[in-house]
Amino acid sequence: MIIQVNSDKHVDANVNVVTTVEDKVERALERHASRITRVEVHLNDVNAHKNGQDDQRCLIEVRINGWSPIAVSHHAPTLAQALDGALDRIRKVVGERAEKLERA
């Protein structure tokens, strides 16, 4: 599973941030890792330098063999909360699709 972390110019995606994101993604999707070919994580500050509630966004796109890409996003006050929210959503969606595939 390849994990790519992208950010806009308003988000400091330093080595520690990238490592943390990669670790969280691996843990969240480890059950389905053998089917996943690529995960792209996009971190954005929606309002740039303006302060605002829920202005941090995390978009996660998962590519799985034989499926169309799955994408979710989550807005929150901090990037960590946005990442955790998006990971909860993507874990649920991937799990539901995997169950459908196993039943077929």
| Homologous superfamily in CATH for domain 2-103 | Ribosome hibernation promotion factor-like (3.30.160.100)
Q: Looking up tokens 């990037």, which residue turns up?
A: 79
What pLDDT does residue 46 have? 85
> Which residues make Cβ contacts (< 8 Å) with residue 1, sequence separation at least 6?
26, 29, 33, 36, 37, 38, 39
Tens digit of pLDDT for each residue in 57-99? 999 999 988 888 999 999 999 999 999 999 999 999 999 988 8
Give the global pTM.
0.90
